[in-house]
Amino acid sequence: MSTRLDTTSGVGDPVAQPDDLDPRLLCPTGRTERLRVVVEHYSPTAGRCPGCGWPVARRQECPSRQVALALLENRPLPVRLAHLADVVPGARAGRDSAADRDRRRDELDAMPGLFAAPARTPEQGDAR
């Protein structure tokens, strides 16, 4: 008798789509709105999220809550939600490369300000 999983049955974890997310996450929102999403989609037990009705096995699994937390903490989306990075404003997937960080810093340094910004020193390990 074999104990292999049947991958042809099509039964698996549901994949979150943009329609499954809280609509407030699909438009540019502020910190307060994101915090509301986190609170409203907090599921104290397994079952269904009280905010969106998403089936959750553990209380942290609601996709709206995970996206809102990632935006609040300025970190990439979890791997299972990375496909939503193009839909949610401000969301990103994966780690930033050094070139992305340098480009973002250069853009920030080029912005006008009250005082001239001090010259940045290269990060440890950068060879410029």
Residue 54 is assigned to a structural domain of this protein: yes
Residue 56 is assigned to a structural domain of this protein: yes
The pLDDT value given to residue 79? 86
> How many domains, the chain?
1
Structure tokens belonging to residue 44 = 């104290």
The pLDDT value given to residue 7? 43
The pLDDT value given to residue 1? 38
The pLDDT value given to residue 6? 41
Residue 2 is assigned to a structural domain of this protein: no
Secondary structure E strands in 4-127: 47-48, 55-56
Residue 107 is assigned to a structural domain of this protein: no
Reported pTM? 0.64
Residue 51 is assigned to a structural domain of this protein: yes
Backbone phi, psi, residue 109, to 5°: -65, -30
Q: Which residues of 69-103 are buried (b: 16+ CB within 10 A; e: fewer)?
A: bbbeeeebbbeebeebbeebeebbeeeeeeeeebe
Residue 36 is assigned to a structural domain of this protein: yes
Return all residues near 15 (Cβ < 8 A) that are at least 6 apart. Answer: 80, 83
User: Is the CB of residue 72 less than 8 Å from the CB of residue 38?
Assistant: yes
The pLDDT value given to residue 25? 92
- Along the 128 residues of the chain, how does pLDDT read in single tens digits? 333 334 444 455 678 888 889 999 998 888 889 899 999 988 888 888 888 888 888 767 889 999 999 999 888 898 889 899 889 988 888 776 778 778 878 887 777 776 666 777 777 765 55
Residue span of the structural domain in which 35 resides: 18-84
Taking alpha carbons only, the member of 22, 27, 54 closest to residue 38 is 22
The pLDDT value given to residue 45? 80
The pLDDT value given to residue 9? 46
Pairing relationship of beta strands 55-56 and 47-48 according to DSSP bridges: antiparallel
